[in-house]
Amino acid sequence: MEPKPRLLAILDIVTTALFVVAVGMVFFYAPTEAVMGQVQRVFYFHVSAGWVGMLSFLTAAVAGIIYLRTGRRHWDIIGLSAVEIGIAFIFVNIVTGSIWARPIWNTWWTWDPRLTTATIMELIYAAYLMLRQGIEEPERRARFGAVYAILGFVSVPLTFMSARLFRTIHPVVIGTNQPGAEGSFDMTPKMLQTFMFSLLTFTFIFIDLLWHRVRLGRLADRVEEIKLKVTV
Amino acid sequence: MMLLQQAPPDTTGYMIAGYVVIFGVMMLYLVSIAVRRRNLERDMEVLKELDKKDS
Amino acid sequence: MKEDIQFAERTPYGISNLFHGTRPFLRALVAIIWKDLAAELRSRELLSAMLVFALLVILIFNFALELDAGARATVTAGVLWVTFAFAGTLGLNRSLAMEKDRGCLDGLLLAPVDRSAIYFGKAIGNLIFMLIVEIIVLPVYSVLYNTNLFHPGLLLVILLGSLGYVAVGTLLSTMAVQTRTRDVLLPILLFPLAIPVLIAAVKSSTGFLQGVEMVEIRPWLNLLLVYDVIFTTVAFMVFDYVVEE
């Protein structure tokens, strides 16, 4: 069992502290938005979760490239960990996006290009896991995972562009001529600060979770090794 | 003129729902990592015993 | 001619490589394409399966959507592309499955040929099959629904769309065929990645069919082109990693 590195312990503390402050800022520091009311507070973590999703995707793709070039198992674990985290946070992003939409546009879903792209990303992540589940040999599993992570990542900007182009032609929320129809609102300085701080906090959360999850993956590998040794 | 400003709508319920999801999912993920870790560590113990017995 | 080749063999890099690299590559490429086409000509398994499937899908749409003439105009492109996507998946699956089952894949890999020749060979073969199915479906649809689908713009979109679809699909089916879950996995892997193609293809098809201004169709065509270039390049670059044994 790898002992927990000192740096990780420090990171845990820092991340937790940041999170507490961020929550405080969201509920007590940021003002209430005039048009949307309290539900707008969801926005800070909604976008931050989406941000973590993007980081995860990027990490998985880069880890994939490095794995293909070096063949080192470590990078496969990083890729898988990143995808797992991505699934969780994009899920948050999608659901909070839906919850935010409901009171404002009286619909549970808008085909907003960002939300649409997030949903497709989630599906790509799920497909990644299903691909891995269908392969027995760890080496091939890692290789195919890496390839799919790269392809998935490359597709995201294209998907976003097509969703956006589609949307400019089909204003989706019918009968809405509110200026806030894109979910935009003017951010006061306090809101902006809260927003930026949330992004920072969630970046730390991503790194912290990734590290923990990678350690878990390495532990799993070691268990597998001994398992093979003992059962042979 | 101040009288013309309406109070913002009460969307607190939705905010709570949103944060339940955020905290809930994050918590769930953390717990999942912790549980998996514990299971693996337990497996490790058992396997180490078996390994010792063999050698 | 022989002297040219011998001369090229003696020059360093540059021309020699080009000469050396290209001819065996092209030969392998053509061989692979020809092998698939010839096999298909004899058995016609793949094409008949794809064709029957495509026609059935169109039939189902007819009953599922209950289209009157007006609704049909807006929905035709969508119906066509869903049909093509599903039939395409069928073709991709079977093309690689036959390869693997007959052990041809291993044979190809043993040959001293650049792996990318295999990728391009299979991709072009898949493209040809998909285009054949599409070329047959178009007149059938035209007749069944009394609409003229033979618009040159539409044909261009079908070419570009199928190209992108097959570029990604060939790579993914090569992976899928090596897993336990095989056939089921390909659509799951392919559809999320192919969404830009499908959206762009449907929108530009509709544009051409409804006589929309070129200036509105152009962004969709550009998207298709960009997708095709990007994904063909990426697929070709990673293909090696997908066929290692």
- Write A196-201 long-range contacts (CB < 8 A, 24+): A197/A18, A197/A21, A197/A22, A197/A25, A198/A22, A198/A25, A198/A26, A198/A44, A198/A45, A198/A47, A198/A48, A199/A47, A199/A48, A199/A51, A200/A18, A201/A15, A201/A18, A201/A19, A201/A21, A201/A22, A201/A48
Contacts of C192 in chain A (CB under 8 A): 120, 123-124, 127, 152, 155
> What pLDDT does residue C97 have?
77
- Interface of chain C against chain A, CB under 8 Å? 168, 171-172, 175-176, 178-182, 185, 188-189, 191-193, 195-196, 199-200, 203, 219-220, 223, 226-227, 230-231, 234-235, 238, 241-242, 244
| B4 domain residue, yes or no | no
Interchain CB distance below 8 Å, A134 and C185: yes
Q: How far apart are CA C46 and CA A70, in angstroms?
A: 39
CB distance C177 to C100 below 8 Å: yes
Domain enclosing residue B30, as ranges: 21-55
Confidence check: pLDDT of C11 > 50: no
Kindly write down the DSSP assignment for every residue of C54-90, as one continuous string.
HHHHHHHHHHHH---HHHHHHHHHHHHHHHHHHHHHH
Judged by a CB distance cut-off of 8 A, whether residue B29 touches chain A is yes
Q: How many domains does chain B have?
A: 1
Q: Work out the minimum CA distance from C164 to partner chain A, whole angstroms.
A: 12
Handedness of CA A27, A30, A31, A36 (dihedral sign): negative
> What pLDDT does residue C158 have?
95
Judged by a CB distance cut-off of 8 A, whether residue A102 touches chain B is yes
CB distance C90 to C53 below 8 Å: yes
> Of A2, A226, A231, which to mutate for an interface test with B (greatest number of B Cβ within 10 Å)?
A226
Q: Work out the minimum CA distance from B1 to partner chain A, whole angstroms.
A: 16
Confidence check: pLDDT of A208 > 50: yes
CA dihedral of A143, A149, A151, A154, whole degrees rounded to 10: -150
Note if the pTM is more than 0.95: no
Chains B and C touch (3+ CB pairs under 8 A): no
Q: How far apart are CA B17 and CA C42, in angstroms?
A: 62
Residue of B18, B29, B37 with shortest CB distance to A88: B29
Handedness of CA C203, C206, C49, C132 (dihedral sign): negative
Interchain CB distance below 8 Å, B19 and A45: yes
Share of chain C above pLDDT 70, in %: 88
Neighbours of chain C (3+ CB pairs under 8 A): A
What is the average pLDDT value for chain C, to the nearest integer? Answer: 84
What is the DSSP-derived secondary structure letter of residue B11? -
Name which residue leads in pLDDT, A138 or C104.
A138
Contacts of C230 in chain A (CB under 8 A): 154, 158
pLDDT tens digits for range C153-210: 899 999 999 999 999 999 999 999 889 888 899 999 999 999 999 999 999 999 998 8
Neighbours of chain B (3+ CB pairs under 8 A): A
pLDDT tens digits for range A183-204: 566 778 888 899 999 999 999 9
Helix axes A113-133, A42-70, angle to 10 degrees: 40
Interchain CB distance below 8 Å, B22 and A38: no
pLDDT tens digits for range A141-174: 999 999 999 999 999 999 999 998 888 766 554 4
**Which range is least confidently modeled, A21-35, A77-91, B2-16?**
B2-16
Kindly write down the DSSP assignment for every residue of C181-221, as one continuous string.
SHHHHHHHHHHHHHHHHHHHHHHHHHHHHTT--HHHHHHHH
Name which residue leads in pLDDT, C12 or B41.
B41
> What pLDDT does residue C8 have?
42
| B43 domain residue, yes or no | yes
Q: How far apart are CA C51 and CA C133, in angstroms?
A: 6
> What pLDDT does residue C41 have?
80
Judged by a CB distance cut-off of 8 A, whether residue B36 touches chain A is yes
Q: Where in chain A are the domains?
A: 42-168+190-231
Judged by a CB distance cut-off of 8 A, whether residue B26 touches chain A is yes
Interchain CB distance below 8 Å, A38 and B11: yes
Q: Shortest CA distance to C224 belongs to which of C170, C158, C138?
A: C158
Confidence of residue B55 (pLDDT cuts 50, 70, 90): low
Residue of A37, A95, A104 with shortest CB distance to B21: A95
What is the average pLDDT value for chain A, to the nearest integer? Answer: 89
Interchain CB distance below 8 Å, B14 and A100: yes
| B51 domain residue, yes or no | yes
Q: In DSSP terms, which residues pair with A33 in a beta bridge?
A: A37
Residue of A41, A88, A95 with shortest CB distance to B15: A41
Q: Work out the minimum CA distance from A185 to partner chain C, whole angstroms.
A: 29
Q: How far apart are CA A154 and CA C186, in angstroms?
A: 18
Tell me the ipTM for this assembly: 0.87
Mean pLDDT, rounded, for C10-15 = 45
Contacts of B10 in chain A (CB under 8 A): 37-38
pLDDT tens digits for range B5-52: 667 777 788 889 999 999 999 999 999 999 999 999 999 998 888 888
Interchain CB distance below 8 Å, C178 and A135: yes
> What pLDDT does residue C203 have?
93
| CB within 8 Å of C207: residues ≥ 6 apart | C153, C216, C217, C220
| B44 domain residue, yes or no | yes
Confidence check: pLDDT of A2 > 70: yes
Confidence check: pLDDT of A231 > 60: yes
Q: Shortest CA distance to C84 belongs to which of C188, C201, C230?
A: C201
CB distance A56 to A206 below 8 Å: yes
Interchain CB distance below 8 Å, B41 and A220: no
CB distance C61 to C141 below 8 Å: no
Residue of A36, A46, A230 with shortest CB distance to B50: A230
Confidence of residue C231 (pLDDT cuts 50, 70, 90): very high
**Which range is least confidently modeled, A14-23, A147-156, C30-39, C171-180?**
C30-39
Judged by a CB distance cut-off of 8 A, whether residue B11 touches chain A is yes
Q: Shortest CA distance to C193 belongs to which of C160, C235, C154, C157?
A: C235
| CB within 8 Å of A84: residues ≥ 6 apart | A213, B29
Confidence check: pLDDT of B54 > 80: no
